[in-house]
Homo-oligomer: A and B are copies of this chain.
Amino acid sequence: MAKKLCIGVLTSGGDCPGLNAAIRGVVKAAWSMGEARVIGIADGFRGLIEGRAREIDPEEASGLLTRGGTILGASREKPFALRDDEGLSDSQVGLDKPEMIKANYRSLGLDCLVTLGGNGTNTTAARLQREGLDVIGLPKTIDNDIWGTDLSFGFHSAVDIATEAIDRLHSTALSHNRVMVIELMGHKAGWLTLYAGIAGGGDVIIIPELPYDPVAIARHLERRASEGKRFSIVAVAEGAISKAEHKMDKKERKAARAEMAYPSAGYRVAAEIADATGMETRVTVLGYLQRGGVPSALDRVLSTSFGMAAAELAFSRSFGRMVAWRGNEIDSVSLEKVAGKTKRVPADHKFIEVARHMGTCFGDED
């Protein structure tokens, strides 16, 4: 009897709806496609460093499709951080994490490793591939900022949650004649804020890709008020940056923000609006609610399909690749190409144009 294909799976980074559905996809497809075992690695790369892993059995794989979170646990462990950040080899600091990963990969008898994660994870995955492991990436993030794929799973669930939150704020805004600011996730990319902002009918949408001018926003809100519109909804990505900040270097910006001492971007924007217009503002930070809960129908279909595609790549021994969704088809792309990149919203993206025609202000107008 031939040796079974042995596939390791880990989930890395912040959690995200669809992780369990994707794990189920890998596992069920692997069993369906041939002789295979799937080893679940605990707590992301940390578990692989520490050798914590167990074989996934059919009992465990059932019921996963709708469950939030990840049954494997996750961590934000970045195994190459010490090498990179400190300019040291890990061995110099007494702990060479990449070497420990390689050792455990072998002692677990893995033929390949499937990593479910975002940009950081894919970058690590590419590097491990380069250093001799066989790795397959699945694109997971509510930010949708992974290069090489039109969609990552988790994104549309987060858009649904954020849109529902904006819907709720509408009634309060309307009743009280207020500017309601809602801060959504997205440090570098504004996809989530753009989609939820359009879906929720946001009057102002502020994304990291388009530095904003508080004056332009104030002008827009005042124009609305002068037209008798008693309220406004402002959707702000957590990575929002003003035009003034954009001109600073990183250090200046950090100092400027420390001085202002706002808890986060939403509070800063609300204060700027209140200062410039005298309007009453209120801030809601959606936070962790965007990451949790049952995945949406679309994310379940995507996660399951991505999981199956990973199993396919494993059986065809096509390693060093990330599963991708491109032009309405499942596809794959080299991890090397994905590594180190961030897919940001282009300034001329059609949806920005759509939103502008709906009357949305991005704060970048002159």
Residues of A within 8 A of B (CB): 11, 14-15, 17, 19, 24-25, 28-29, 32-33, 43, 65-70, 73-75, 150, 156, 159-165, 167-172, 174-177, 180, 195-196, 198-201, 230, 263, 282-285, 287-289, 291-293, 296-298, 300-301, 304-305, 308, 311, 326-330, 350-351, 353-354, 356-359
Give the distance to chain B from A150, nearest Cβ to Cβ, in Å: 4
Q: Hey, which chain B residues are within 8 Å of A297, CB to CB?
A: 156, 159-160, 162-164, 195-196, 199-200
Give the distance to chain B from A199, nearest Cβ to Cβ, in Å: 4
Q: Hey, which chain B residues are within 8 Å of A65, CB to CB?
A: 199-201
* Bound CA span A43–B175, Å: 8
Q: Hey, which chain B residues are within 8 Å of A169, CB to CB?
A: 288-289, 292
Residue of B nearest to A67 (CB): B171
Q: Hey, which chain B residues are within 8 Å of A283, CB to CB?
A: 287
Residue of B nearest to A72 (CB): B175
Give the distance to chain B from A47, nearest Cβ to Cβ, in Å: 12
In the complex, 17 of the A-B residue pairs with CB atoms within 8 angstroms, ordered by the A residue number, are A14-B176, A19-B175, A25-B358, A28-B359, A32-B359, A68-B172, A159-B297, A167-B292, A167-B293, A171-B291, A195-B301, A199-B300, A199-B301, A284-B287, A285-B285, A285-B287, A304-B358
Q: Knowing A199-B297, A296-B160, A305-B351, say if A289 contacts B33 (CB, 8 Å).
A: no
* Bound CA span A159–B304, Å: 16
